[in-house]
C-alpha cells in the first residue's frame, strides 16, 4: 500500500512542514518514505496507491489527556471544577460499576476519537477495576495506541467511588503486570489528583510506578481553590505533595498546571515531568489560562490533551487551535500553526515516550490519516498550515489507518 500527497513531516526545530511525497506501508509499519515524488514511478494509476496531489498524509493525532468514562457529560456546562466533579462527573463515573457498560462506552468513545483522527491516547478509566480491564481490552481490540489507567481514589469522593488504598494498589499492580509499558496498550498508574488521595495511596502509587516503570497520570493546579485545599490537606505545595510520594518522574503526565508557583515549576523541570495543557477544558470550566511560555522557559516539556469530558472537543486540531488562541489572549509568545501541528503529533509522542508514533518515520507504526481539504489552502500567500488548522473540518478526513489497517473510510 502506498499513500501519496503532501506529507506532514517534522521541520527539525519543533515544528512541521508539508512536502510532496509518498509513504509505503509494509504490514503494520511504515517501510519507506520518499519526498518530492508522488509515487515511486511518478505514476498515480498503479494499484494500491491512495491519496493524491490534493491530499495530506499525516501521522494520526495523539490526545495526551482524556477521560474515556466522561463522553456522556461532554457539554455539562456552568459549574467550576470541584462542583462539576460532584454533580456531573462522579455520578457519570458511577455507571462504570457495570463492566459491560464500560466496554460499550469505551468502544463508542474510541470510534469517535478515531473518526476525528486520533490514533493514540493517554486516558483515565474509572475507579472500577473490572471496568478498567474491559476498557483496556476494548482499546486493544480497536487497535488504537493507548495508555489507560484505573483511577485511584480513596477519599473526598462519594463512598461508592472510593476504595481502600491497599486494594487499589493491588488492582493497579495486576493491570500493570498484564499491560506492561512496552505494549501498544499499556496500563498507567493514575491517582486522580491529590485531593482524592490519601498520602498512603499517593506513596503506594509512586512506588508501584517505579517498580513497573509505568507512566503516571494525574492532575495538578487546575484551579485556585483546589490548590488552597491541597495546601490545607497536606500542609505543603502541590508539586511537593507529588514529589514526596515519588510521583514526579520523567514518565509523569500532569494535567493542567495553571497555578504553579516558581518552586513548583522548578521541581517539575528538575524531575522532567510533563504538563499536559488542556485549553478547551480550561475555558469550559473557566479554570483559568495556562501560561505556556512561562512553563516552556523553565523549561518544562509540554503535551496537549482534550480532557474530555471537561473538554468539549474530540478533535485534536481544534484543541491545538485553542492553544494558539489561549496564548494570543494572554499576549505571550503565540505558537505558530507549524508548532501546533507538531504538538498534536510528534510533540505528544515524545511526551508519552512513544518513539515509534506521531511521526512519519521508517519503522514506525502505520497510524496515519489521509486528509482531503475542501478549501484552497495552497494558493494564498499566507501560511498553509495555519489555513489548514483554522479552516479545519473533520469531514476532510478520508481514511484512518491503525497499524497499517484501514480503520475508517469516509468516501
Distance CA 400, CA 115 (A): 8
Footprint (CB under 5 A) of Fe ion, residues 125-154: none
Per DSSP, what are the bridge partners of residue 254? 218, 275
Instruction: Pick the closer one to Fe ion by CB: 311 or 358.
Output: 311
Report the nearest approach of Fe ion to the CB of residue 197 (Å).
15
From candidates 307, 313, 322, 339, binder to Fe ion by CB under 5 A: 307
Q: Among candidates 300, 302, 311, which has minimal Cα distance to 278?
A: 311
Report the nearest approach of Fe ion to the CB of residue 312 (Å).
13
Q: b/e per residue, 175-194, with b = 16+ CB within 10 A? A: bbeebebeebbbbbbbbbbb
Distance CA 204, CA 111 (A): 34
192 binds, among Fe ion, ligand GUN, none (CB under 5 to 8 A by kind): ligand GUN
Please calculate the CA angle 179-185-187 and round it to the nearest 5 degrees: 45
Footprint (CB under 6 A) of ligand GUN, residues 28-87: 67, 81, 85
From candidates 73, 172, 175, 281, binder to ligand GUN by CB under 6 A: 281
Distance CA 384, CA 16 (A): 11
Among the residue ranges 139-147, 164-172, 299-307, 333-341, the one whose residues contact Fe ion (CB under 5 A):
299-307
DSSP 228-262: HHHHHHHSS-HHHHHHHTT--STTEEEEE--S--H
Distance CA 212, CA 176 (A): 7
From candidates 255, 257, 309, 373, binder to Fe ion by CB under 5 A: 255
Mask: binding to ligand GUN, 231-270, rule CB under 6 A, as x and -? Answer: ----------------------------------------
Torsion angles phi and psi, residue 235, rounded to 5? 70, 25
Q: Which residue is nearest to ligand GUN (CB)?
A: 310
**222 in contact with ligand GUN (CB under 6 A):** yes
Report the nearest approach of ligand GUN to the CB of residue 307 (Å).
5
Q: b/e per residue, 224-243, with b = 16+ CB within 10 A? A: eebbeebeebbeebbbbbbb
**367 in contact with Fe ion (CB under 5 A):** no
Report the nearest approach of Fe ion to the CB of residue 364 (Å).
28
Report the nearest approach of ligand GUN to the CB of residue 269 (Å).
22
Distance CA 169, CA 211 (A): 12
**63 in contact with Fe ion (CB under 5 A):** no
- What residue has cell string 485545599? 229
Q: Among candidates 115, 74, 88, which has minimal Cα distance to 313?
A: 74
**193 in contact with ligand GUN (CB under 6 A):** yes
Mask: binding to ligand GUN, 82-111, rule CB under 6 A, as x and -? Answer: ---x---x----------------------
Mask: binding to ligand GUN, 131-170, rule CB under 6 A, as x and -? Answer: ----------------------------------------
The binding site for ligand GUN (CB under 6 A) comprises: 67, 81, 85, 89, 192-193, 219, 222, 281, 307, 310
Binding residues for Fe ion, rule: CB under 5 A, are: 255, 307
Amino acid at each position: 500500500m502506498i499513500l501519496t500527497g503532501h506529507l506532514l513531516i517534522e521541520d527539525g526545530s519543533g515544528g512541521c512542514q508539508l512536502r510532496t511525497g509518498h509513504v509505503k506501508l509494509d504490514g503494520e509499519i511504515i517501510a519507506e518514505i520518499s519526498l518530492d515524488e508522488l509515487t515511486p514511478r511518478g505514476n498515480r494509476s498503479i494499484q494500491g496507491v491512495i491519496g493524491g496531489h490534493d491530499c495530506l498524509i499525516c501521522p494520526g493525532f495523539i490526545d495526551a489527556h482524556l477521560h474515556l468514562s466522561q463522553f456522556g457529560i461532554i457539554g455539562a456546562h456552568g459549574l467550576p471544577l470541584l462542583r462539576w466533579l460532584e454533580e456531573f462527573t462522579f455520578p457519570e463515573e458511577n455507571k462504570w460499576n457495570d463492566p459491560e457498560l464500560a466496554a460499550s462506552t469505551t468502544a463508542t468513545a474510541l470510534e469517535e476519537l478515531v473518526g476525528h483522527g486520533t490514533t493514540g491516547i493517554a486516558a483515565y478509566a474509572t475507579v472500577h477495576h473490572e471496568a478498567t480491564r474491559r476498557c483496556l481490552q476494548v482499546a486493544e481490540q480497536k487497535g488504537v495506541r493507548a495508555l489507560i489507567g484505573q483511577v485511584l481514589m480513596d477519599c473526598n469522593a462519594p463512598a461508592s467511588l472510593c476504595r481502600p488504598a491497599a486494594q487499589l494498589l493491588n488492582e493497579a499492580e495486576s493491570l500493570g503486570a498484564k499491560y506492561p509499558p512496552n505494549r501498544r496498550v499499556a496500563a498507567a498508574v493514575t491517582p486522580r489528583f491529590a485531593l482524592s488521595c490519601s498520602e498512603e495511596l499517593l506513596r503506594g502509587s509512586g512506588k508501584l510506578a517505579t517498580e513497573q516503570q509505568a507512566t503516571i497520570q494525574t492532575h495538578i493546579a487546575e484551579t485556585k481553590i483546589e490548590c488552597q485545599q491541597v495546601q490545607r490537606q497536606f500542609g505543603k505545595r502541590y508539586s511537593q505533595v507529588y514529589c514526596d510520594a515519588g510521583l514526579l518522574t520523567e514518565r509523569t503526565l500532569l494535567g493542567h498546571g495553571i497555578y504553579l508557583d516558581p518552586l513548583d515549576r522548578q521541581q517539575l523541570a528538575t524531575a522532567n515531568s510533563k504538563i499536559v495543557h488542556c485549553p478547551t477544558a480550561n475555558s469550559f470550566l473557566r479554570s483559568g489560562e495556562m501560561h505556556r511560555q512561562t512553563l516552556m522557559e523553565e523549561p518544562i516539556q509540554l503535551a496537549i490533551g482534550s480532557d474530555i469530558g471537561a473538554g468539549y472537543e474530540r478533535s485534536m486540531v481544534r484543541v491545538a487551535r485553542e492553544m494558539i488562541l489561549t496564548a494570543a489572549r494572554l499576549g505571550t509568545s503565540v505558537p505558530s500553526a507549524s508548532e501546533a501541528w507538531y504538538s498534536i503529533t510528534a510533540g505528544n509522542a515524545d511526551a508519552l515516550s512513544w518513539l515509534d508514533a506521531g511521526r512519519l518515520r521508517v519503522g514506525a507504526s502505520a497510524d496515519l490519516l489521509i486528509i482531503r481539504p475542501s478549501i484552497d489552502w495552497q494558493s494564498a500567500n499566507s501560511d498553509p498550515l495555519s489555513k489548514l488548522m483554522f479552516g479545519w473540518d473533520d469531514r476532510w478526513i478520508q481514511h484512518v489507518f491503525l497499524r497499517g489497517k484501514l480503520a475508517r473510510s469516509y468516501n
